[in-house]
Amino acid sequence: DTGVSQDPRHKITKRGQNVTFRCDPISEHNRLYWYRQTLGQGPEFLTYFQNEAQLEKSRLLSDRFSAERPKGSFSTLEIQRTEQGDSAMYLCASSPFGSEAFFGQGTRLTVV
């Protein structure tokens, strides 16, 4: 499967714990995006990488959130001190320059 891969698919964590998600984009896609989707809503932009450089962060991305894309390949999204409001589907997408984004299956986070 050469699509966007996300791991884990599901994560249940206790409030206050840290979680980390991984995204493996389609190879040779230099753009990588993280989105958050809550039930009944469209995906909301969180952050964007062009190769290894993080070029934009949404105001939705509080200080508890950090994303990295070392060497311009896979990316990780870490949430520190999780809150119940962080419960959502976290989607990763990748694209070649100037083209449509291809989404992964997402990681569903439940904070209890």
Partner 1 sequence: QQQVKQSPQSLIVQKGGISIINCAYENTAFDYFPWYQQFPGKGPALLIAIRPDVSEKKEGRFTISFNKSAKQFSLHIMDSQPGDSATYFCAASKEGFKTIFGAGTRLFVKA
x/- site string to partner 1, residues 35 to 74, per CB under 8 A?
-----xxxxxx--x-------x------------------
Strand partners, 56: 48
Q: In the numeric block, which tokens belong to residue 23?
A: 């995204």
64 near 81, Cβ under 8 Å? yes
Strand partners, 11: 109
**Which residues make Cβ contacts (< 8 Å) with residue 98, sequence separation at least 6?**
none
Find the binder of partner 1 among 77, 82, 88, 104 (CB under 8 A).
Answer: 104
4 contacts partner 1 (rule: CB under 8 A): yes
Which is closer to partner 1, CB of 13 or CB of 108? 108
Closest Cα partner for 47 from 37, 32, 27? 32
25 contacts partner 1 (rule: CB under 8 A): no
Which is closer to partner 1, CB of 23 or CB of 111? 23
Residues that bind partner 1 (CB under 8 A): 4, 31, 33, 40-45, 48, 56, 91, 93, 95, 97-106, 108
